[in-house]
Amino acid sequence: MLALGKLLELTLAGREPTEKIQLTSGGVRLHWLGEGALDVTPPATEDSGLDLLLSAGVHGNETAPIELLDRLVQAIARGQLKPRARILFLLGNPEAMRRGERFVEQDINRLFNGRHAESSGFEAMRAGELERYAAAFFSKPERARLHYDLHTAIRGSKIEQFALYPYVDGREHSRLELARLRAAGIDAVLLQSKTGITFSSYTYAHLDAEAFTLELGKARPFGSNQEVNLDRLEARLHSLIEGREPEFDDGNLDGLQLFSVSREIIKHSDSFQLHLAPDIENFSELPVGYLLAEDIAGTRWVVEEEGARIIFPNPRVRNGLRAGILIVPADV
Ligand SMILES: O=C(O)CCC(=O)N[C@@H](CCC(=O)O)C(=O)O
Ligand SMILES: [Zn+2]
């Protein structure tokens, strides 16, 4: 296998490859751009016109998606997977990956869309670098642009695999992309209702990519992901990469549950209290009238929405950040 096929090994060891550019026997060019960043270019005659950004490890302890990208990179470097798409592989937070932690000083996935410029430290610098890699990759005109930012969640979930679809004022969510996610085994999509500060929000809002955060199961250490079944997603990624994606009907969203974000619960102070069991699962339903959280100066978060559910409840986030999302069923 070509040395650049060991992107994960190089990244975990903090090593730089001696050769930065390598060609597979099939003429696919691998280019190591920097720590955790690998650009893959198919031969011009084979190019399908798709630019595909695959990122993982934006949270360092979310290892199943990192292992998935590692399998893809290795298969390309061995010549077993023959790309017809341009691909950019990004491992988001190498230092947090080495430590097996979500982040070291601050959550990179709250530092996009310009937030990194108002902050300092290596994670802010890395968010800026990830934006620049993505912007350079998505700078070619007249190509399809798709970004999947792969994650796993802190807690268990009533719906195991789901996506978050970013929002930009005036831009419609694509039924075709929803159908593609369904075909990749995704069971639910959360339609955001304001532009966020995550990596997928950045590529969606600024780089005109179709972009999603994919939540693929529960976060576990490297080598302990037997319960995370990525078979359908992996098969779909293989077919997208090789330009042989099976036809799918963009009118058919059968079985895909759609939700819209009703409210983000923001933690304003150290007095914030979340009234949920520590082991509550994502997508748990909450009744109207339920006192969800309390904060400084008598602030109360009471459920008003019929059919409300909670995802990502986390009272330990920094002040000013979201401590949970209230969602409600939606249609497109
Ligand atoms: O399990 C949790 O509480 C967090 C899981 C996670 O890392 N989710 C992403 C979602 C990103 C998005 O909103 O698009 C995150 O919180 O960064
Ligand atoms: Zn994550």
Kindly state whether residues 320 and 204 are assigned to the same domain.
no
Of 241, 276, 302, which one is at a domain's C-terminal end? 241
Of 182, 211, 241, which one is at a domain's C-terminal end? 241
Kindly state whether residues 180 and 289 are assigned to the same domain.
no
**Average pLDDT value for residue range 102-116:** 97
- Which residue among 19, 215, 264, 294 is the active-site one? 215
Task: For residue 165, report the distance from its CA to the centre of ligand 1, in Å.
Answer: 12
Nearest Cα residue to 127 out of 59, 78, 46: 59
Kindly state whether residues 127 and 210 are assigned to the same domain.
yes
Among all chains, which residue has been given the structure tokens 């369904």?
182
Q: Is residue 258 part of a domain?
A: no
DSSP 65-78: HHHHHHHHHHHHHT
CA distance 299 to 295: 5
Domain extent for 36:
3-241
The domain that holds 83 is classified in CATH as 3.40.630.10
Q: Is residue 257 part of a domain?
A: no
- Residue range 269-297, pLDDT digits in tens: 999 999 999 999 999 999 999 999 999 99
- Residue range 313-332, pLDDT digits in tens: 999 999 999 999 999 999 87
> 83: helix, coil or strand?
coil
- Residue range 62-89, pLDDT digits in tens: 999 999 999 999 999 999 999 999 999 9
pLDDT at residue 247 tops 90:
no
Cα angle 295-296-302, degrees, rounded to a multiple of 5: 35
Q: Is residue 193 part of a domain?
A: yes
Kindly state whether residues 271 and 141 are assigned to the same domain.
no
The two structure tokens encoding residue 241? 């990469």
Kindly state whether residues 232 and 282 are assigned to the same domain.
no
Q: Where are the beta strands (DSSP E) in 57-209?
A: 86-91, 144-153, 162-165, 188-191
- Residue range 4-51, pLDDT digits in tens: 999 999 999 999 999 999 999 999 999 999 999 999 999 999 999 999
Q: How confident is the model at residue 251 (pLDDT cuts 50, 70, 90)?
A: confident
Q: How confident is the model at residue 249 (pLDDT cuts 50, 70, 90)?
A: confident
Q: Is residue 246 part of a domain?
A: no
The domain that holds 273 is classified in CATH as 2.40.50.630
Kindly state whether residues 163 and 282 are assigned to the same domain.
no
Kindly state whether residues 160 and 277 are assigned to the same domain.
no
Kindly state whether residues 194 and 64 are assigned to the same domain.
yes
The two structure tokens encoding residue 101? 């932690």
Domain count, the chain: 2
pLDDT at 219: 95
Q: Are 142 and 191 in contact (CB under 8 A)?
A: no
CA distance 35 to 14: 8
Task: For residue 58, report the distance from its CA to the centre of ligand 2, in Å.
Answer: 7
Task: For residue 286, report the distance from its CA to the centre of ligand 2, in Å.
Answer: 24
Kindly state whether residues 204 and 60 are assigned to the same domain.
yes
Is residue 242 part of the annotated active site? The answer reads no
**Average pLDDT value for residue range 209-214:** 98
pLDDT at 228: 86
Q: Write down the mean pLDDT value for the chain.
A: 96
Ligand 1 atom closest to 313 (CA): 3
Ligand that comes closest to the CA of residue 164: 1
Of 210, 241, 272, which one is at a domain's C-terminal end? 241
Q: Is residue 253 part of a domain?
A: no
Kindly state whether residues 46 and 148 are assigned to the same domain.
yes
Kindly state whether residues 235 and 175 are assigned to the same domain.
yes
Reported as type and span, the H/E element at residue 54 is: strand 50-56
Kindly state whether residues 73 and 162 are assigned to the same domain.
yes
CA distance 221 to 210: 30
pLDDT at 168: 97
